[in-house]
């Protein structure tokens, strides 16, 4: 009797509390109390500018902050090619001529300008990527050819080989005597590297490996430097060892081997090696992509790049890593620099295209009020909508990739396992996200420049064609996003098992609790400009979305695995997983942008960055406003306020667009588009067509 009364009192108490909460929530919707939202820890919100006051931006101070300590070497690259008209790529050039020009450009950089990128691949990656960005802005084919020589071929020797390989090959790779290729992709296998079919069988009698292409599907395909210039190739093949059991052989998994493909003196193809030209491509025709077939090509045992696995003279295999999967993961982990470089280079392409389109839009005048001068097309809201969020995103991606390069450099020095895993997932996500965004933006920039944007001389066509493959090589973007999603799910599981989280993923520790609780009905209605421009609100919104996506997809995978199995469940949830990965990467990008704003020492430069950062954040929130509305994270009045403020910020960024673009500090000979010239653009443009 007594216990029943207690139960009844308890139930009544919970009922009263629930009723009180409902009344409080309802009253907050009717008459929300004003409370100043807390500021993000260690991030000081800039005081919102008056609606009538234009932000003043010191472009020189901003440029110095952005370009950092390697500005000098980039200027040296620009000055060298500007002083050599014979090394500048013309608008109209044949495939064969472009390939030869590209090789001469690279030789000039190394042997005449005295810039030796290979020396920085391992010891100073930040400087190496700065050189690569500058070189790629001169000619994207040149940037990729440099990457093939030093990041891929040279990088494989440094990262997968040992001291004997570095001693033998370093100087020749550095001075371009040993031009080389990176022969991983096969006709039938690109993303699935573990499925490669090329074999390297050990012959214990001659102490050699025999490289074979067992079928047409195993032909090495799209191999840069192979068609014309390469003398060596790092060939990825299955290491086959003879055994004395019933199987006769043992497959030790994919390893890397140095295989000479052309004679050092005559440059003739070596016996057993067949090379074909992959021909004219959509873009990057200065790079000589070829196909390689091997017919019993013998190489010394020492040509095995043996950092993670070795074969002794008597045919015994040794490795510090216990399984094929461990060795494979370690091998691919050492090659992550290619993805880092592509993400960084893609931002460079975005800077060029945004510079051309925005400078043209500031110059170009069209229509206007009756009996008044025509106005700049960048004064039209539609043009601002196309280009200003893109300009803000360019800044966001710049700081994100600078952070990525810093983490990669730290990883190369420390070889910390947690950091290796962090950089692997971060580079996969940023490479995929940024290259996809840049590819879309190139078309937007072309359209924003109307008919003049269609002229080849104004570069959008070549930039778009050359950059397009960035979405595929060094990992297909869809595959890379799945790697990010898989890593997030792994971290999610570790979180609930009490594991540690690396810095990039640390917000997940709190998010599963704080961000997944019922949205606060008070903050859901806050619509003041100070609140919407508070970094805490912006970052919380990004992370809330990621956390909900992560929790929901984890539940869906658990449910579907019971009936479809692991592979089937993953495929059923694939689009959800891709959205999760993109959301996480956007959270990382925003966090790094906010941090860059906070650290900027110059007040006027910081004000410009704050403006761009707010536009980036609110534009992304608005583009996915349905997600926030569906769970009442943002009330209708707040959604409307976000939209209005995003339009206003686009207008404000337009007012400082010239300064923000000038801060990229790209010389005219880099953009090379007459419509992007800051003075006498039309005069230069008419000269191009012969007037």
Name every residue whose Cβ is closer than 8 Å to that of residue 639 and which is 6 or more positions away in sequence: 622, 625, 628, 629
Name every residue whose Cβ is closer than 8 Å to that of residue 38 and which is 6 or more positions away in sequence: 536
Alpha carbon distances (Å) from 388 to 343, 393, 615: 21, 9, 8
Q: Region 407-426: what's the mean pLDDT? A: 89
Give yes or no for a contact between 37 and 534, defined as CB atoms under 8 angstroms apart: yes
> Is the pLDDT assigned to residue 38 strictly greater than 60?
no
CA max distance for the chain: 104
Please write the tens of the pLDDT for every residue from 607-646.
999 999 999 999 999 999 999 998 888 999 999 999 999 9
Name every residue whose Cβ is closer than 8 Å to that of residue 273 and which is 6 or more positions away in sequence: 259, 261, 262, 292, 293, 294, 295, 297
Neighbours of 504 (CB within 10 A): 23
Give yes or no for a contact between 126 and 67, defined as CB atoms under 8 angstroms apart: no
Over 533-585, what HEC string results?
CCHHHHHHHHHHHHHHHHHHHHHHHHHHHHHHHHHHHHHHCHHHHHHHHHHHH
- In angstroms, the CA 132 to CA 73 distance is 10
- In angstroms, the CA 611 to CA 57 distance is 10
- In angstroms, the CA 434 to CA 444 distance is 15
pLDDT the model gives residue 682: 61
Structure tokens that stand for 542 in this block = 């990004």
- In angstroms, the CA 350 to CA 454 distance is 17
pLDDT the model gives residue 3: 40
pLDDT the model gives residue 416: 85
- In angstroms, the CA 687 to CA 30 distance is 66
Structure tokens that stand for 460 in this block = 């959008």
Give yes or no for a contact between 401 and 430, defined as CB atoms under 8 angstroms apart: yes
Please write the tens of the pLDDT for every residue from 43-69.
333 334 335 467 899 999 999 999 888
- In angstroms, the CA 538 to CA 592 distance is 13
Structure tokens that stand for 234 in this block = 């790092």
- In angstroms, the CA 211 to CA 183 distance is 12
The reply, when asked if residue 185 is annotated as ligand binding, is: yes
Using alpha carbons only, what angle is made at residue 280 by residues 277 and 286, rounded to the nearest 5 degrees?
Answer: 90
Please write the tens of the pLDDT for every residue from 128-182.
999 999 999 999 999 999 999 999 999 999 999 999 999 999 999 999 999 999 9
Give yes or no for a contact between 656 and 54, defined as CB atoms under 8 angstroms apart: yes
Identify the CA nearest to 588 among candidates 517, 648, 506. Answer: 506
Percent of the chain at pLDDT exceeding 70: 86
> Is the pLDDT assigned to residue 278 strictly greater than 50?
yes
- The values of phi and psi at residue 578, to 5°, are -65, -40
- In angstroms, the CA 541 to CA 620 distance is 10
The per-residue pLDDT of the chain, averaged, comes to 87
Q: In the block, which residue shows the tokens 């990621």? A: 546
> Is the pLDDT assigned to residue 385 strictly greater than 90?
yes
Confidence of residue 518 (pLDDT cuts 50, 70, 90): low
- In angstroms, the CA 59 to CA 296 distance is 60
Neighbours of 623 (CB within 10 A): 11
Give yes or no for a contact between 655 and 438, defined as CB atoms under 8 angstroms apart: no
> Is the pLDDT assigned to residue 346 strictly greater than 70?
yes
pLDDT the model gives residue 676: 75
Instruction: For residue 133, indicate whether it is catalytic.
Output: no
pLDDT the model gives residue 510: 60
Give yes or no for a contact between 357 and 441, defined as CB atoms under 8 angstroms apart: no
- Among the listed residues 133, 186, 208, 474, the single catalytic one is 474
Confidence of residue 275 (pLDDT cuts 50, 70, 90): very high
Neighbours of 176 (CB within 10 A): 19
pLDDT the model gives residue 20: 43
Using alpha carbons only, what angle is made at residue 227 by residues 223 and 229, rounded to the nearest 5 degrees?
Answer: 100
Confidence of residue 81 (pLDDT cuts 50, 70, 90): very high
pLDDT the model gives residue 495: 65
Neighbours of 320 (CB within 10 A): 11
- In angstroms, the CA 306 to CA 158 distance is 11
Q: How many CA atoms lie within 13 A of 552 on its CB side?
A: 16
Q: Region 25-50: what's the mean pLDDT? A: 36
Alpha carbon distances (Å) from 155 to 117, 166, 180, 196, 388: 11, 10, 11, 20, 38
Q: In the block, which residue shows the tokens 């000098």? A: 72
SS3 (DSSP) at 637? helix
Give yes or no for a contact between 635 and 92, defined as CB atoms under 8 angstroms apart: no
Confidence of residue 30 (pLDDT cuts 50, 70, 90): very low
Run of H or E residues at 199? strand 199-203
Give yes or no for a contact between 262 and 231, defined as CB atoms under 8 angstroms apart: yes
Structure tokens that stand for 571 in this block = 């495929």
Give yes or no for a contact between 425 and 483, defined as CB atoms under 8 angstroms apart: yes
SS3 (DSSP) at 257? strand
Give yes or no for a contact between 231 and 264, defined as CB atoms under 8 angstroms apart: yes
Give yes or no for a contact between 192 and 236, defined as CB atoms under 8 angstroms apart: no
> Is the pLDDT assigned to residue 573 strictly greater than 60?
yes
- The values of phi and psi at residue 211, to 5°, are -90, 125
Q: In the block, which residue shows the tokens 């191999």? A: 223
Which of 100-109, 202-211, 306-315, 363-372 is least confident? 363-372
pTM greater than the 0.85 cutoff: yes
């Amino acid at each position: 009797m007594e216990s029943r009364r207690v139960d009844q009192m308890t139930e009544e108490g919970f009922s009263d509390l629930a009723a009180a909460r409902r009344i409080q929530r309802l009253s907050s919707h009717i008459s929300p109390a004003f409370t100043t939202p807390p500021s993000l820890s260690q991030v000081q919100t800039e005081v919102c500018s008056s609606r009538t006051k234009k932000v003043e931006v010191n472009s020189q101070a901003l440029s110095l902050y952005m370009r950092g300590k390697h500005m000098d070497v980039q200027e040296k690259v620009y000055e060298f090619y500007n002083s050599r008209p014979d090394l500048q790529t013309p608008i109209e050039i044949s495939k064969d001529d472009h390939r030869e020009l590209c090789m001469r450009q690279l030789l000039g950089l190394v042997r005449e300008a005295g810039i030796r990128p290979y020396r920085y691949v391992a010891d100073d990656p930040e400087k190496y990527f700065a050189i690569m960005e500058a070189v790629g802005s001169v000619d994207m084919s040149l940037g990729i050819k440099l990457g093939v020589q030093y990041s891929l071929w040279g990088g494989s020797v440094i990262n997968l080989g040992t001291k004997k390989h570095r001693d033998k090959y370093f100087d020749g790779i550095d001075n371009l005597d040993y031009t080389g290729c990176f022969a991983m992709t096969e006709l039938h296998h690109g993303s699935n590297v573990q499925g490669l079919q090329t074999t390297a069988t050990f012959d214990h009698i001659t102490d050699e490996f025999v490289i074979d292409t067992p079928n047409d599907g195993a032909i090495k395909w799209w191999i840069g430097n192979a068609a014309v210039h390469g003398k060596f190739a790092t060939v990825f093949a299955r290491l086959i060892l003879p055994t004395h059991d019933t199987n006769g052989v043992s497959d030790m998994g994919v390893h890397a081997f140095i295989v000479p493909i052309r004679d050092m003196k005559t440059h003739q193809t070596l016996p057993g090696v067949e090379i074909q030209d992959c021909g004219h491509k959509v873009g990057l025709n200065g790079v000589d992509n070829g196909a390689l077939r091997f017919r019993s090509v013998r190489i010394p045992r020492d040509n095995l790049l043996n950092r993670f696995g070795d074969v002794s003279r008597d045919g015994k295999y040794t490795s510090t890593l216990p399984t094929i999967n461990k060795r494979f993961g370690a091998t691919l982990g050492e090659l992550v620099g290619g993805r880092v470089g592509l993400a960084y280079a893609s931002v460079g392409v975005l800077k060029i295209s945004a510079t051309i389109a925005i400078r043209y839009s500031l110059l170009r005048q069209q229509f206007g009020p009756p009996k008044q001068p025509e106005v700049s097309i960048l004064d039209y809201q539609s043009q601002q909508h196309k280009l200003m969020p893109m300009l803000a995103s360019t800044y966001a991606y710049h700081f994100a990739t600078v952070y990525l390069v810093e983490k990669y450099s730290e990883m190369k020095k420390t070889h910390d396992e947690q950091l290796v895993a962090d950089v692997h997932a971060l580079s996969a996500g940023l490479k995929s996200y940024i290259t996809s965004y840049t590819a879309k933006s190139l078309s937007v920039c072309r359209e924003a420049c109307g008919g003049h944007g269609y002229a080849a001389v104004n570069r959008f066509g070549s930039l778009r064609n050359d950059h397009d493959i960035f979405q595929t090589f060094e990992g297909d973007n869809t595959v890379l996003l799945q790697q990010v999603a898989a890593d997030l799910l792994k971290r999610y599981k570790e979180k609930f098992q009490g594991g540690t989280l690396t810095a990039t993923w640390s917000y997940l520790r709190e998010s599963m609790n704080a961000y997944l609780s019922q949205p606060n009905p008070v903050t859901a209605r806050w619509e003041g400009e100070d609140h919407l421009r508070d970094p805490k609100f912006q970052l919380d919104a990004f992370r809330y979305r990621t956390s909900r996506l992560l929790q929901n997809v984890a539940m869906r995978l658990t449910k579907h695995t019971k009936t479809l199995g692991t592979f089937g469940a993953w495929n059923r949830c694939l689009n959800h997983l891709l959205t999760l990965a993109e959301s996480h990467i956007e959270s990382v990008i925003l966090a790094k942008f906010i941090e860059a704003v906070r650290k900027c020492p110059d007040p006027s430069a910081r004000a410009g960055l704050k403006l761009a950062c707010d536009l980036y954040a609110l534009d992304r929130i608005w583009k996915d406003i349905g997600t926030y509305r569906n769970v009442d994270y943002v009330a209708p009045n707040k959604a409307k306020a976000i939209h209005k403020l995003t339009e206003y910020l686009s207008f404000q960024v337009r007012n400082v667009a010239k300064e923000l673009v000038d801060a990229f500090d790209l010389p005219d000979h880099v953009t090379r588009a007459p419509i992007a010239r800051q003075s006498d653009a039309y005069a230069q443009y008419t000269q191009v067509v012969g007037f």
